[in-house]
Structure 1
Amino acid sequence: MKGFPKRGFIFWPVGTGDSTTIVVDKEDGIILQIDLRHMECATEEDDPHVPIIDILKQELPELNEKPHLSVFALTHPDKDHCQGFSQLIKEVTIGELWFSPRIFREYHKDLCEDASAFKKEAMRRVKKTITSKGNVGSGDRVHIIGYDDLLKEEEFEGFPQDQLTVPGNSITELNGEDYSDCFNAFVHAPFKDDSEGERNDTSLAFRIALSDGEVTGFAMLLGDHCYPTVKRIFDRTTDKNNLAWNVFLAPHHCSKGVMYWCDEGEKEETLRQGVLDAIEKAASDPGYIVASSEPIPKSNEAGDNPPHAIAKNRYEEIAPDGFVCTQEHGGKDHPQPIIFEVTTAGLTYWGSQVAKAAGLTSLAKAIEQARGGAAPPSDRVGFGENR
């Protein structure tokens, strides 16, 4: 794990999609991967996207002669959040899966192949956990995020209560071990009634806190949520400390739907400045906003998928220390991962000025080594197109 920070957040250039790596403890090899987008075209020499599975295989610790990932969390099963999972589960041992079952029940007809593979694996683990009365080891663990009424349903009856987290609470265990001294994932969403709305409204939403001694760095990860849910999160969170962020991942890949909205009965969408003010108020020092997307155009046509130039403009107005796009970071031809490290000195952005000293060069070499395949480009959209 030469290129990973000791403890920190990594946002990978995988196009308009999410692949976020949380390094909880580099020395002990404790890694949380939130979402995945691995495109076959990324292995080609001149393709600007990172072959994320190949990089993880090089960087993850080995256990029983196989790369080992502590936890994989799926915010929701749109293709741009789970692409490549079928390959990942074959080539990497995953200690524990995190997911919310509601979306699979509501949207089971149009799951892509990788989403179906995730569902199959997650439900295998659910069944084994129930039959084993919670006594399962790494490779079979699963943690459900949702509400207690889930456990009344037939397929979840008997699932251990302590392996379910209700939004509004925190997860501090990773793959069966307590890391509360350095890790806290506060679950903001989905809300209990979110399954009644659009599929993006079922996204898991976390505020991840990583600590090194008395210093803590915060990352807000809100999946593909749009204005109504983002507003609810900031309005309804009782302890405002759980809204603090150093890194804010722009929801839905820099979609304008976070701050421009048209309510029922209205004729056109308008700017909802209140939600931007709430996001800005929650910013800590330092504070960066990250867009996980293709390069952001100077302007958009009506009906364009994210990223949206108008959203970038609004984020630039409220980001205390800057706005960064994954597919533009380090140059559009050969973008580099956006990395933030948490140390006793604070949260540090591995920007271009500190790249060599921080170890970004070794990651760049790993990315280069992972390329060179002859596989044809894969589709860049699928179930859950960026809309």
Structure 2
Amino acid sequence: MVIQWSVTRSWGKNYILIAGDTSVEVLERLESEVHAHNPDHLAWHILIAPHHCSRRSIGRVWNGGCIDEEFEESAGALASLGEQRGDGYVVASSRRVIRGGNTPPSYHAKLRYLRILAAGGEVTDAVRARFRCTGGNATSDKPAHVVFNLNATGPSLAATTAPATVGLGGGGASVGGGGGYG
């Protein structure tokens, strides 16, 4: 399921696109049936990356997908996710994304989302700062809430703190565990 929320603040709107566990096939169908006719229906300032930042939402993987040659991006899926407004943010509900790490999250998918955030420009540190993970950042695996202030001119990051640990018998983080495939 893909849901777009719009939050009106004064005279401006903030769009939040939540892509859940959406597959590449669903995103391709949204491209042809929705995006091609009305791109604003998939507009976002904040995109919750599909399936914990998995490659399988933005393309097809075959033979296990262990090497880049076993992955093919889907132009349709990427087009349906490409309606960024302003200086958008992508949030992955996953542990931090690292090259060679377990998937999801996928390092390849993160690179693709960074290119979307760069809007055809260079992927700079400022662009990288707009890709956030609930289960860690560029240097730490410590989970953290990702909180936004929604303003008339679009969202901005709010100050955050680490979430409380939730424990049932052994404890565990309250955010960012990630899923089971890449």
Greater than 6 Å deviation, 4+ residue runs: none
- Does the CA-based 8 Å contact 1:246-1:285 persist in structure 2? yes
CA contact (8 A) 2:14 2:150 kept: yes
1:290 maps to amino acid: V
Partners of 1:279 and 1:372 lie apart in 2 by 33
User: How far 1:344 moved relative to its partner?
Assistant: 3.2
**What's the secondary structure of 1:338's corresponding residue?**
coil
Higher helix fraction: Structure 1 or Structure 2?
Answer: 1
Structure 1 residue matching 2:94: 3-state secondary structure: coil
CA deviations over 1:336-384 (Å, ceiling 9, x no partner): 211122123432222xxxx2xxxx3xxx38x4xx448683147xxxxxx
User: 3-state DSSP class of the match of 2:31?
Assistant: helix
Aligned-residue offset at 1:218: 0.7
- The change in CA–CA distance for 1:277 and 1:217 in structure 2 (over 3 A counts) is same
Structure 1 counterpart of 2:86: 285
Shift of 1:278: 4.1
Q: Report the Cα distance in structure 2 between the residues aligned to 1:228 and 1:234, rounded to whole angstroms.
A: 10
- Residue pair 1:299, 1:310 contacting (<8 A) in 2 also: no
Cα pair 1:260 1:272 within 8 Å, conserved:
yes
- For residue 229 of structure 1, what is the amino acid of its counterpart? V
Q: In 1, distance between residues paired with 2:144 and 2:165? A: 14
Deviations 1:137-174 (A, max 9, x none): xxxxxxxxxxxxxxxxxxxxxxxxxxxxxxxxxxxxxx
Q: TM-score, normalised by structure 1?
A: 0.37
Q: Distance in 1 between matches of 2:117 and 2:139?
A: 21
Offset, 1:229? 0.5
Q: Distance in 1 between matches of 2:2 and 2:74?
A: 20
Q: Could you give the per-residue CA deviations for residues 96-151 of structure 1, whole angstroms, max 9, x where no partner exists?
A: xxxxxxxxxxxxxxxxxxxxxxxxxxxxxxxxxxxxxxxxxxxxxxxxxxxxxxxx
Would you say the 8 A contact 1:287–1:319 is kept in 2?
A: yes
1:346 equivalent in alignment to 2:147? no
1:315 corresponds in structure 2 to: 113
How far off its partner does 1:333 sit?
5.0
1:206 is matched with which residue?
Answer: 3
Q: Which structure 2 segments of 5+ residues have no match?
A: 63-69, 119-126, 173-178
Partner of 2:104: 306
- Quote the Cα distance in structure 2 between the aligned partners of 1:233 and 1:259: 12
3-state SS of paired residue (1:376):
coil
Percent identical residues: 24
What residue in structure 2 maps to residue 272 of structure 1?
74
Q: Indicate how the Cα distance of structure 1 residues 376 and 273 shifts in structure 2: closer, same or farther if over 3 A, else same.
A: same
Q: How many residues align?
A: 160
How has the CA–CA distance of structure 1 residues 299 and 206 changed in structure 2, closer, same or farther, with 3 Å as cutoff?
same
Structure 1, unaligned runs of 5 or more: 1-203, 379-384
Contact 1:215–1:342 (CA under 8 A) maintained in structure 2: no
Q: Per the alignment, in what secondary structure is the counterpart of residue 109 of structure 2?
A: helix
Alignment of 1:161-200 (within 5 A): none
User: 2:145 aligns to what?
Assistant: 337
1:249 shift after superposition: 1.0
**Aligned-partner Cα distance in 2 for 1:275–1:228:** 8
Alignment of 1:70-89 (within 5 A): none
Is the 2:14–2:152 contact (alpha carbons within 8 Å) kept by the matching residues of 1? no
Aligned partner of 2:133 in structure 1 is 325
| Contact 2:18 2:50 survives alignment (8 Å) | yes
Residue 233 (structure 1) aligns with: 30
Instruction: Assess if the C-alpha contact under 8 Å between 1:252 and 1:386 holds in 2.
Output: no
Task: Write the mapping of 1:338-377 to structure 2, written as runs, cut at 5 A.
Answer: 338-350=146-158, 355=159, 360=160, 364=161, 367=163, 370-371=164-165, 375-377=169-171
